[in-house]
């Protein structure tokens, strides 16, 4: 972006104050190539370490993260505008990922024996493959990197990170923390590179896999680049998650939960509640409570622990969000709350609700990455599920109903998403898989699944 560009590099900008934080220079082609090579050489030693030795360091990474959580949380707030209390929650989640991976997830790498038809036995091993390259967004500066890096490191791989430019300081702090915890130097390496250099990294012989979180358009380009070199990818490409409110739901609880699900992390969450599909019989009751709840949400100084919502991470992101709102209204949507661009310093945007949301509007078709909710009326349960699945995305979704058995049946057999949350807002748990279907991407992280995404599943037989 032009407001961030400098000669040969870029600057980071505080989205609450619009002031420059720091300037960085891109690596030269030679420096980037050497960083990849250094990571590969570090991997050659790391892969020989025992699983227990790796786990010990990964556990320590989580401990150091907690020791430096205040520093990290404040930096994330400064770089991308999340309210500081959400930064503390993010660090705690990352520490939990380290703990889970080091104690439980690592067990996924244990050798397996299987009986062969002739009476012999075969062995299956899960071997590291090499350097894994991650391209990550800005909305969770620590978590997005930790989510793939810890699993890859546990598997015995090396890790490269191209983070979003606006949270470069967070990326470098994470690298420092990992090395402080005892991770060998260069095994986790931050790359300060542009998109053309990124394609060269993908093509590098030492890189054996690529993982990306971000937009569908960018994900397709990255997948195509990796496919040119027959390299595996894992993609998490966002969504416009639908949260269904059925007639037997606790409406007050549902409305309160949906407010938090929409404005958490300033509404900049891939798996956040975005479309609210409410059956006709309880629509007006939910609408009234939802508007009242969203109306109480005020944005402000994200460093204040009492602030509910901070600014969007960048100026262009706010402009895009407002453009989506405007185009939706032009096509028939109704502004029930908010929807006005603030005329003040900082990239703030008010909690907003759009009604009369119909197919063909951005509010129905697209992902809104900010505190804008799409309220949709459904005739009944069947119609609500149809609307929820009427999307090219399929990351997550939610169901509000006091009949848990029914909600589970709908989630299991009818919701076309990778994750479903019952009577709750979206949540990430270290022991549960994370990922989507359709245009939300493919592959899984967390829950022991991510640790096997980039390994060589090797058959050895016969053994006696």
Task: Kindly name the residue from 94, 166, 167, 270 that is annotated as catalytic.
Answer: 270
pLDDT at 82: 97
pTM for this structure? 0.96
CA angle 213, 69, 187 (to 5 degrees): 55
| CA 443/CA 236 separation, integer angstroms | 8
What does the alpha-carbon distance between residue 68 and residue 412 come to, in Å, rounded to a whole number?
40
CA distances (Å), origin 303, targets 12, 76, 94, 245, 310: 17, 10, 21, 34, 9
Alpha-carbon span 261 to 246, nearest angstrom: 17
pLDDT at 2: 62
Below-70 pLDDT ranges, the chain: 1-2
Tens digit of each residue's pLDDT (9 = 90 or more) over 204-247: 999 999 999 999 999 999 999 999 999 999 999 989 999 999 99
166 is catalytic: no
Provide the pLDDT for residue 1.
47
H-type helices in 214-250, by residue range?
216-228
pLDDT confidence of residue 426: 87
Choosing from 236, 268, 445, 453, the catalytic residue is 236
Give the 3-state secondary structure percentages of the chain, helix then strand then coil, rounded to 5. 45, 20, 35
- Any residues with CB less than 8 A from the CB of 7 and at least 6 apart, and which? none
* Close Cβ partners of 119 (under 8 Å, ≥ 6 residues apart): none
Ordered by where they begin, the domains of the chain are: 5-238+440-463 (3.40.605.10), 242-428 (3.40.309.10)
Alpha-carbon distance of 464 to 459, in angstroms, equals 14
Measure CA 82 to chain center: 14
Greatest pairwise CA separation for the chain in angstroms: 76
Active site residue 94: no
Cβ atoms of 101 and 129 closer than 8 Å: no
């Amino acid at each position: 972006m032009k407001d961030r560009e400098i000669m040969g590099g870029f600057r980071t900008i505080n989205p609450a104050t619009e002031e420059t934080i720091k300037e960085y220079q891109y690596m030269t082609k030679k420096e980037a190539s050497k960083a990849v090579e250094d990571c590969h050489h570090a991997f050659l030693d790391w892969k020989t370490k025992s699983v227990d030795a790796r786990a010990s360091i990964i556990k320590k990474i989580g401990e150091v993260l907690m020791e430096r959580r205040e520093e990290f949380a404040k930096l994330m707030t400064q770089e991308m505008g999340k309210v500081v209390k959400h930064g503390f929650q993010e660090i705690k989640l990352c520490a939990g990922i380290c703990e889970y991976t080091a104690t439980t997830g690592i067990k996924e790498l244990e050798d397996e024996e299987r009986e062969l038809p002739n009476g012999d036995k075969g062995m299956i091993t899960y071997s590291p493959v090499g350097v894994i390259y991650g391209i990550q967004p800005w909305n969770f500066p620590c978590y997005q990197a930790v989510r793939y890096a810890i699993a890859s490191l546990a598997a015995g791989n090396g890790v490269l990170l191209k983070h979003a430019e606006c949270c470069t300081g967070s990326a470098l702090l994470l690298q420092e923390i990992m090395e402080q915890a005892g991770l060998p130097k260069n095994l986790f390496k931050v790359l300060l590179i542009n998109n053309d250099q990124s394609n060269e990294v993908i093509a590098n012989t030492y890189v054996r896999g690529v993982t990306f979180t971000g937009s569908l358009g960018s994900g397709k380009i990255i997948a195509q680049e990796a496919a040119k070199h027959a390299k595996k990818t894992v993609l998490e490409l966002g969504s416009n998650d639908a949260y269904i409110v059925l007639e037997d739901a606790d409406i007050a609880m549902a409305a309160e939960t949906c407010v938090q699900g929409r404005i958490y992390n300033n509404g900049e969450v891939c798996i956040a509640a975005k479309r609210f599909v409410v059956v006709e019989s309880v629509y007006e009751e939910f609408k009234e409570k939802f508007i009242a709840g969203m109306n109480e949400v005020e944005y402000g100084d994200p460093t204040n622990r009492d602030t509910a919502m901070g600014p969007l991470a960048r100026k262009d992101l706010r402009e895009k969000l407002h453009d989506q709102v405007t185009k939706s209204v032009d096509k028939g949507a109704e502004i029930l709350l908010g929807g006005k661009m603030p005329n003040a310093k900082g990239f703030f945007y008010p909690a907003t609700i759009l009604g009369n949301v119909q197919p063909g509007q951005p509010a129905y078709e697209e992902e809104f990455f900010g505190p804008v909710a799409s309220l949709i009326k459904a005739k009944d349960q069947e119609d609500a599920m149809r609307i929820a699945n009427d999307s090219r995305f399929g990351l997550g979704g939610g169901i509000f109903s006091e009949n848990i058995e029914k909600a589970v049946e709908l989630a299991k057999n009818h919701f076309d998403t990778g994750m479903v949350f019952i009577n709750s807002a979206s949540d990430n748990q270290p022991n549960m898989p994370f990922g989507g279907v359709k245009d939300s991407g493919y592959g899984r992280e967390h829950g022991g699944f991510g640790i096997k995404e980039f390994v060589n599943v090797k058959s050895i037989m016969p053994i006696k």
